[in-house]
Amino acid sequence: MSTRARIQIAIALGALGLAWPILDILGRNAEFFIARGSTREEIVQVLVMLAALVPILASLPASLPGRLGRGLGLVWLGVLSIALSYLVVRQLAVPSAGFAALALGVGLLVAIDRFEPVQAVFRLLAWSPVALGAYFLFATPSGALVLDRGVPVSGTVAPQATPPVVMLVFDELPLASLIDPAGNLRADRYPNFAQLAADGIWYRNAMTTQQQTEHSVPAIVTGVNPERTLNPFAGQYPGSLFTALSRVYGMQVAETMTQMCPVTVCPLTTDRGGPLLDDLSVVAGHVLAPPDLSESLPPIDRNWGNFGAATEDFNAIESFNDARRNGDPRRTLEEVATAIRAADPARPAFFFAHALLPHNPWQYLPTGQRYPIDDERLPGSEKTGWGDNAWLSAQALQRHLLQVQYVDRALGDILEALADNGMYEQALVIVVSDHGIALRPNIEHWRRIEADTVGAVASVPLIVKLPRGEQAGTIDDRRALTVDIVPTVAEVLEFGLPWEIDGASLLGPDPKRSETTTTGPDSQATYGVDGKEKLAVAAANAIWFPTGDPYELLPEDAPNLLGEPASSLGSVRDDVIVRLDRPNWYTNVDPSSDVLPTRVTGTVRGLAASEDALLAVLVNDRIAAIVRSFHDRGRSGFQAMIPPETLGSGRNSVEVVAFEA
């Protein structure tokens, strides 16, 4: 074999065995480049490096002169033959791939060396780098980026109807927080949820099929019940509303914990790119290395940004904390309203938001103002559950309800934006929560799905307002599921779904499900369809909040003296000393400021460890709250929420006294 032949064959083997598989995967995944904001020049550099530089480098050992050089060159061709064979063998998934590749590679080398026609074919294949470059540029999504032709998204649909679509996914909002024990929406507390229900269909018996956010949100946007092992990233699901609608709809998507909208559809606003060569080496490792080696590499389909660094599995808690650190959860909903106001009503638009609201920590008032909270654990909580102090879990419920009222207000702003922009009448509006929360004593985990937490954790609000107000004011008590949302959107927009789903359109005939299963990370519950569970939770909530007003909370056996003058307290106890944690918060109050000190806390002295006392919070000499003191984690103290309207501008007198009922 001539030196020229060896060089040509090495180029062919290097291009096909080393460069081609990497170019192929990079070409098909434009996300790799989009996520890092790569310029066209950078993509071309990668292309040249792989299609030209790699084959040229591969040819160098084959060009060595002399007898020894020829021998080494032949050995090198054997190495390249084995590498190419390994790729083929891996593709065919034959057993003992290593041996098979070795045998095939040696066989290939012998064939090239001995048989003239085989050699001729491989010499001709020295032109394959040109073919690779052309393939990458003209036949792949990444090539489309270079040529500026727009990246095609797979699985798009052509809807026959294109109303504005607004989908709001709240987090940790049980339906029971919105209803009275008879199952009616508390319209006076949540006027905007009530308005939407009056204009749409309220699926009162709706359940989430998934208890964890990272599975529940994907179920809502794909209609698929995810396998437990799936992470909430677009690449792990066959399709979603984001991919399906992307060809026709403009996307206004705010995901906080998930990345279900692929970056080809929803460009990242933050720079996620890491060192390009690092990530290329990870891709190369996955493509070229044996499976047992590549398993130790970071996965490449998960995070198309800096995936060289993405060595950890998706961690919901971390992701949640990141989301919280990176932003004020109120902004998510405010941005939806802003985007709607800025939208051109004539252009189809999909407004999607998953807001970490009314998710704890509870710190928002119905007005949207914030009250300061310490990072301390909630009094009465034990890890992620509740101890046996019913009063303290009722106080947590109070703060949750205040935050739910804020969510109602934010929903109202979004509905108002739709109306102001003339889009409300035509819009398809869907409001749902990914799951609820159990706020009652003696519970090991407030989110864990068990037979006795179904009403609090699995029962969620689901309201669908159809275009043109069709079926306005309907209450539908079928067993609706979160996976039914996608097929419902498909029916309203009149398109066929290009992937298999687990749900059924809510506008079709009732599938008459006889039981439902909600799945969590380490538990699940299967239950019937009468929907009594949420009513039981609403009834338990109503013991503390009979009219649903968060400020009407009173300890058991305490007289209702709320709003009365301080003088109406019976006998004040001198033996109990109460100290405010932050008395200076009340020396100069601005009622219109974003932060309002309406959570009053302090320490209590003079009580035995087994004893607690009734306390009255006196704001400007009127009783603003009545609470019970607690002993929690070695501290005797109290906490109280006072209505914001009890605070005036400037200096306020805030005093807490113990009294006998």
Binding residues vs Zn ion (CB under 5 A)? 171, 213, 434
Complex with Zn ion: residue 255 or 434, whichever CB lies closer? 434
The first and second tokens of residue 620, run together, are 């400007």
Complex with Zn ion: residue 171 or 612, whichever CB lies closer? 171
Biggest CA pair distance of the chain: 110
C-alpha span between 417 and 411 (Å, rounded): 10
How many residues in total does the chain contain?
A: 661
Contact 168, 507 (CB under 8 A): no
Complex with Zn ion: residue 171 or 199, whichever CB lies closer? 171
Complex with Zn ion: residue 256 or 601, whichever CB lies closer? 256
Complex with Zn ion: residue 123 or 445, whichever CB lies closer? 445
Contact 616, 569 (CB under 8 A): yes
Shortest Å, Cβ 295 to Zn ion: 30
DSSP 193-214: HHHHHHHSEEETT-B-SBSSHH
The first and second tokens of residue 623, run together, are 């009783």
How big is the CA angle at 498 (ends 493 and 500), to the nearest 5 degrees?
110
Q: How many CB atoms lie within 10 A of CB 243?
A: 25
Complex with Zn ion: residue 82 or 173, whichever CB lies closer? 173
The CB-nearest residue to Zn ion is 213
C-alpha span between 10 and 79 (Å, rounded): 10
Contacts of 2 by beta carbon, 8 Å cutoff, 6+ apart: none
Contact 64, 73 (CB under 8 A): yes
Shortest Å, Cβ 387 to Zn ion: 23
Shortest Å, Cβ 481 to Zn ion: 16
C-alpha span between 397 and 392 (Å, rounded): 9
Contact 219, 482 (CB under 8 A): yes
Q: How many CB atoms lie within 10 A of CB 648?
A: 13
Complex with Zn ion: residue 199 or 434, whichever CB lies closer? 434
Shortest Å, Cβ 319 to Zn ion: 11
DSSP state of 592: T
Shortest Å, Cβ 417 to Zn ion: 25
Complex with Zn ion: residue 126 or 356, whichever CB lies closer? 356
Complex with Zn ion: residue 156 or 332, whichever CB lies closer? 332
Shortest Å, Cβ 320 to Zn ion: 8
Shortest Å, Cβ 500 to Zn ion: 25
Complex with Zn ion: residue 168 or 618, whichever CB lies closer? 168
C-alpha span between 136 and 130 (Å, rounded): 10
Complex with Zn ion: residue 33 or 446, whichever CB lies closer? 446
Contact 309, 343 (CB under 8 A): no
DSSP 440-500: SSSBS-TT---GGGIIIIIB--EEEEPGGGTTTTEEE-S--BGGGHHHHHHHHHT---SS-
Shortest Å, Cβ 280 to Zn ion: 35
Shortest Å, Cβ 366 to Zn ion: 22
> In which element (H, E) is residue 286 found?
helix 276-288
Complex with Zn ion: residue 213 or 601, whichever CB lies closer? 213
Shortest Å, Cβ 476 to Zn ion: 24
Complex with Zn ion: residue 19 or 457, whichever CB lies closer? 457
Judged on CB neighbours under 10 Å (0-12, 13-18, 19+), 9 is buried
The first and second tokens of residue 247, run together, are 């060809």
C-alpha span between 321 and 345 (Å, rounded): 36
Shortest Å, Cβ 434 to Zn ion: 4
Shortest Å, Cβ 213 to Zn ion: 3
Shortest Å, Cβ 449 to Zn ion: 12
Contact 107, 82 (CB under 8 A): no
